[in-house]
Structure formats: C-alpha cells, structure tokens
Amino acid sequence: MQASPSENDIAQILRGISIPPQPQIMADLQMAQAFDPPDLGEISQLISRDVSVCGSVIKVANSPYYGLNKPVTSIDQAIMLIGLDAVINTVNGVATRKNLVDISKLNEMDVMFLNRFWDGAEDTAKIAQLISNQLQIENPNSMYLIGLFHNAGIPLLVQSYPNYRDVLAEAYTDTETSITATEDKHFNTNHAVLGYYLARSWKMPLFVCDAITEHHNLQRLLSEGASSGGPMLNMLCILKLAEHLVGLHSILGRHELDLEWQCLEDMVMAYLGLTHDDIDDLLQICTEMGIGQQNPG
C-alpha cells in the first residue's frame, strides 16, 4: 500500500462520486458476528427482518449449488445446513446489489451491464472460494468476500460517467497500460481506488481493502516478491485465476481474449503450483456449476 492520501487527495479522487452508506443489515451482522461465539438466534432474526434478503438467502440455500436433500424454509435451517459463513456471504451479496446502485437513474444498457456485473461478481466469489479450499491457501470465506467486493468501484463509475462502459472495454483491450491506468486517464480515478474507499467506509476487513487496491497490480507484485510470497500474493493469485475461469474479461471488457491473464498466466500458475491439467479440471468444475466459459482466451 502507498502512503495514505491527504484529505485533499481523497476529495479529488471522490469528486462527483458518492460513496453510499453501508447497508444497515451488513453493519448489524458485523456487530453480531463480533461476539464469541456469535449469537445465531440474533443473526437469524436480523436477516429475517429484511424480507427480500431473507428470501434470497433461502433461494440460494435451495439452489443446486448446495445440493441439499431437503428444502430450506427458514434462516435457522439455512444456517444449520449450509453454515453461517455461507449465509453471511449471501447476505453481503444481496445487500450490496440492493444498496450500491439506483437503477432508476440508469439507461437500459447500463442496467443490463450491471446485471451481468453482479452475476460475474458472485461467480468470481464462488470460484475464488473453491480454489482456496482445494489448494488450502488462505481462508475460503475470506476469498469469497474478496471475489465479491474487489470490483465494487465499477457500479459507482457506471452511475457517474455515461461513457464508462466504453472506457472499460477500451481498458481490457490495451496491452500496454493497466486497466486502472486507462480509467485514471479518462476519469482521474479508477474502480480499484473507489472500491477501496467503499470497503473502508463499509468496515470491510483491512485485507479485503488492500486486495481491492492491488488487484490490477499483480504482475508488479509477483515480480517484486514471488520468492517470499505472503497472504496478499496468495489472495491476488487466487482472485486472478477465478476471474479468468469466470470470464470477467468478456463480461466487463467485451473482449474475447483475457489479455491481463495472458501476461500473468505463467507467473500465477507457477506461484500456485498448478499445471494446465489442473486448470482444465477447474474449468470442468465451473462448467458443472454453470459458471464461466469452457475455453477462456
């Protein structure tokens, strides 16, 4: 992380862009989780107060992703059958989608883009969690959180700039400049910086905030510290592999080739100790889950 920006720097970065307040349910659940052990009854009551969030959690719990033998009909059952962490992850996703964007102020194309964006974010979170679990590197639920939130600055830019989708598409085709540098050139800020301030404002764990800031700097970080490794490199390598498997370059950048992954592939695979056969196996799992693409570029 670079030195902390001044108040004036922050004002310039956020000029014309509003960081929305944290959804109340997320704040309440963070407080409830702070107890050791957490009060599962209180957590269940908090979720049940929001009808749409409660319904979404039950719907996710009953999806083929979990393959339960009997249907879930309450939050208590969901916590018991799929686990507290999975329920909280679902709440975070639903609450973020509900509170981050006012779709009434967007045109039809932006709404369609954001619908694809949210689906891609949730798929990236699931695959990052899966990779973490299979490789036994970092906490799988932490990786879900990073996968879900790492691009959270994008909806803020979609709302603020009518041409943002086109700039993002340009960024994904530029092999000479990073995606965030292209955004900086057009808007004097980028989605990683805005995502960092959103995550800090929403009291996300510091490692999530830092991963958001650095997620387009992995090539530099690997070149500087591949020999020593560490949690940040672990998390970002898992994240980039998950992005590639999901096909975010197609969802966000409307591009057939994942040019960022092409620059990172050899380093990430070597760092994680993976072979091309391992990647094929992960792709097969994604296909079985209905996620991503069969032949990413």
Q: Average pLDDT for consecutive 10-residue bins of the chain (297 residues)?
A: 59 76 93 89 92 92 87 93 92 91 89 94 94 94 94 94 95 92 94 94 93 94 74 96 95 92 94 94 89 53
> How much is the pLDDT for 21?
92
pLDDT at res. 65 = 82
- The per-residue pLDDT for 6 is 63
pTM of the model: 0.89
Q: What is the pLDDT of residue 85?
A: 92
Q: Residue ranges per domain, the chain?
A: 20-100, 104-297
The confidence score (pLDDT) of residue 10 equals: 65
Return the amino acid letter for 281: D
- Which numeric CATH code is attached to 104-297? 1.10.3210.10
